Structure 1
């Protein structure tokens, strides 16, 4: 398998990043829904074990929806799994499935893969892809807000460099 100098690839523009974002958004929604189903199943198990009281509600979902504590736990659980989805792929290969489809790779500016800490730091400015719109302001450097904050870059890989990754 050939090796590539990842510092030589050009930085990706806004269109490719947004196209990749659409793919990843759909995947993230699927992860969110599966995590929600698993989270609610765990909630149901806690009820069966007697750890959760129905508090006069007829259905378990009403208990969850009427409690800020339970709702917050389930939503945080779901968001944690979505965050894990992105962090896992960014750290493992520099590419989520959407990035792979559009031949994008997230990396440090020296071409190396990012660390978990860097991936976690990218999550907030990446939120819903809003940080990518910084590319409209910074057309010359092609760095999004999350790229600037974490000293990373998203590059456009060649077909050969993208083949067999992930």
Structure 2
């Protein structure tokens, strides 16, 4: 079984649920996918790092990968580790949804050692409308970075890809809704 097939199998078992749910976008849906349930397992983490690393290669050159809090953070860590093990290190950045009211009060964590204008690939676990992705892109560009593109683990096929592409960014999706429910 290929790594792509194995990760999909793990996502189907641990992350996908056919149920009514209200999404972060406020939209209602008949299915829910909580990728963290797969990604935070050791095998899922390793497979995710490997698969997303290969997708990031299509968007090179880049200096780092960024993940949006909370679902994208383990993605960034997994890809960063995989890149280091392959002797092509990419730093990880975590993009906060909101600035903490204490400590460093940073929107981005992990970007201080990057050069000005660093090219960053944004990683997302799931996209629906693309709203949270575009907010993260704005935070990265406001900090002086260039977003080289977006790699998403699961595209729900609900307009997110189109919204992100309309903003001038390339989107690479590893899986789509149809990989979980071919009847869609």
Shared fold per TM-score greater than 0.5: no
User: Taking structure 1 as the reference length, what is the TM-score of the superposition?
Assistant: 0.27
TM-score when normalising by structure 2 = 0.25
Higher helix share: 1
Higher relative contact order (CA 8 A, sep 6+): 1
Indicate the structure (1 or 2) with the bigger Cα radius of gyration.
1
